[in-house]
Amino acid sequence: MSKAIKLSESLINDAVMNGKAQHRSAPKQIEYWARMGKIVDENPDLPLAFIKGVLTGVEESKAGDVSDYKFG
């Protein structure tokens, strides 16, 4: 369900600039920030880079881009 919300102009401008760099629209960039903020808030002991790596790994796995890991 979509809802209209009021956001500050500075947040929207930041989302436009950052979104362009990440090939996302401003709304998708804000959704990304909200999702990452929620995950970070729920996992305060994990570094952001680790969280991003886990999320990337999950998407790679869903896409079938996996290989066996060889120890040693």
Provide the residue type at 45 as one letter: D
Query: Secondary structure of the chain in the HEC alphabet?
Result: CCCCCCCCHHHHHHHHHHHHHHCCCHHHHHHHHHHHHHHHHHCCCCCHHHHHHHHHHHHHHHCCCCCCCCCC
Answer for the pair 15, 29: CB distance below 8 angstroms, yes or no: yes
44-64 tens-digit pLDDT: 999 999 999 999 999 999 999
pLDDT tens by residue, 5-16: 999 999 999 999
Banded pLDDT at 68 (limits 50, 70, 90): confident
Widest CA span in the chain: 54
pLDDT at 66 over 90: no
pTM comes to: 0.78
Q: Where are the domains of the chain?
A: 9-62
